[in-house]
């Protein structure tokens, strides 16, 4: 480890150990988030220990204890169930370890909370749904309670329905697992068969949207359905822009940028520098029309066109390289 010239201790020497402990690792969003965290860690000569998530709360607790025993200086906790994390996270804090939470509400003033402006994600997607469909339509909604970003997006969905009496939620479904898209597709098929008058599906997680698209094409009804989602990946761009795709809009950040921001928040704390309690990464609306018109095929091409997809000004300092993608 060589360290970073001009950086505050301990980054001037390098080799600072930080753990990334995820609740979910499967899927494009989480893989890109991890890649961004790794890229930022490399730029700071951080020794990043990645603990894979398997949607297992007991395993995530165990991983936090393992990270404490490894002598890490910082821990980034990526999703999880707050009720199963409080005491082990407190053990880390008591040992002087700096903790950052992404998309899991740890409700502790010592822990910066990173999120992607989830209210704005849902709001922009639903505004686009109104632009395309008016304020009178039958909707399907994909939701699993207990995940902080989905709960925040759900607050906007509830508000939207209260303000638009003509929008009727005919069916609600969803699951989060290591087979989210295919399991959601099975649920969607049943819901759309029982409710053939659904014309819009709000699916605010790309794995959900992928499941809805799969179901619509299996049922042969892609032409009469419109899907509005959150998140984007290179594979999602291909699905959205494909001929006849019902997936007409998504609202997203670059998850790699969010991963990088999370590691920067840990590094700033380890260096004894100030970090805001709430750190938000702003999303952008990406419509099928705009992606097709721009000829964008990959996240890298998107990053060339949308500055927020290549970097964020959240949790930066002059000694931290911020332009990574």
Interface positions with ligand SR1 (CB under 6 A): 29, 103, 116, 147, 149-150, 176, 205, 230-231
Nearer to ligand SR1, 100 or 150 (CB): 150
Distance separating alpha carbons of residues 284 and 120, to the nearest angstrom: 9
| Residue 230 beta carbon to ligand SR1: minimum distance, rounded to whole angstroms | 5
Task: Give the orientation angle of helix 57-70 with respect to helix 86-94, to 10 degrees.
Answer: 10
| Residue 319 beta carbon to ligand SR1: minimum distance, rounded to whole angstroms | 29
Helix (H) or strand (E) holding 285: strand 284-287
Nearer to ligand SR1, 80 or 270 (CB): 80
| Residue 76 beta carbon to ligand SR1: minimum distance, rounded to whole angstroms | 14
| Total Cβ atoms within 10 A of residue 174 | 23
| Total Cβ atoms within 10 A of residue 204 | 28
| Residue 249 beta carbon to ligand SR1: minimum distance, rounded to whole angstroms | 15
Give the residue from 201, 204, 207 showing the smallest Cα distance to 121. Answer: 204
Give the residue from 40, 32, 18 showing the smallest Cα distance to 319. Answer: 40
Residue-by-residue DSSP string for 140-205: EEE--TT-HHHHHHHHHHHHHHHH-TTEEEEEEE---STTHHHHHHHHHHHHHHH-TT--EEEE-S
| Residue 163 beta carbon to ligand SR1: minimum distance, rounded to whole angstroms | 23
| Residue 309 beta carbon to ligand SR1: minimum distance, rounded to whole angstroms | 14
| Total Cβ atoms within 10 A of residue 94 | 9
Nearer to ligand SR1, 11 or 160 (CB): 160
């Amino acid at each position: 480890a060589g360290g970073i010239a001009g950086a505050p201790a301990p980054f001037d020497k390098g080799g600072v150990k930080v753990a990334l402990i995820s609740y979910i690792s499967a899927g494009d969003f989480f893989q890109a988030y991890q890649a961004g965290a790794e890229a930022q860690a490399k730029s700071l000569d951080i020794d990043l220990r990645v603990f894979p998530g398997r949607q297992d709360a007991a395993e995530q607790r165990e991983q936090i204890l393992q990270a404490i025993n490894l002598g890490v200086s910082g821990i980034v906790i990526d999703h999880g169930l707050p009720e199963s994390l409080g005491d082990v996270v407190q053990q880390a804090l008591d040992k002087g370890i700096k903790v950052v939470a992404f998309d899991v509400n740890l409700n502790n003033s010592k822990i910066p909370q990173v999120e992607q402006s989830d209210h704005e994600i849902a709001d922009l997607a639903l505004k686009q749904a109104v632009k395309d469909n008016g304020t009178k339509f039958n909707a399907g909604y994909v939701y699993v309670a207990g995940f902080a970003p989905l709960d925040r997006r759900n607050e906007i969905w509830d508000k939207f329905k209260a303000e638009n009496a003509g929008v009727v939620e005919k069916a609600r479904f969803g699951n989060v697992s290591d087979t989210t898209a295919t399991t959601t597709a099975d649920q969607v098929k049943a819901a759309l068969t029982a409710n053939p008058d659904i014309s819009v599906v709000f699916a605010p997680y790309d794995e959900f949207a992928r499941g809805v698209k799969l179901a619509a094409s299996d049922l042969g009804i892609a032409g009469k359905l419109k899907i509005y989602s959150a998140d984007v990946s290179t594979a999602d761009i291909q699905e959205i822009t494909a001929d006849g795709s019902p997936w007409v809009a998504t609202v997203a950040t670059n998850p790699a940028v969010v991963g990088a921001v999370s590691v920067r928040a840990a590094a700033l704390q380890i260096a004894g520098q100030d970090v805001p309690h709430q750190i938000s990464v702003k999303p952008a609306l990406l419509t099928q029309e705009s992606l097709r018109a721009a000829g964008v095929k990959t996240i890298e091409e998107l990053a060339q066109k949308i500055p927020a997809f290549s970097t964020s000004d959240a949790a930066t300092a002059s000694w931290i390289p911020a332009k990574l993608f």
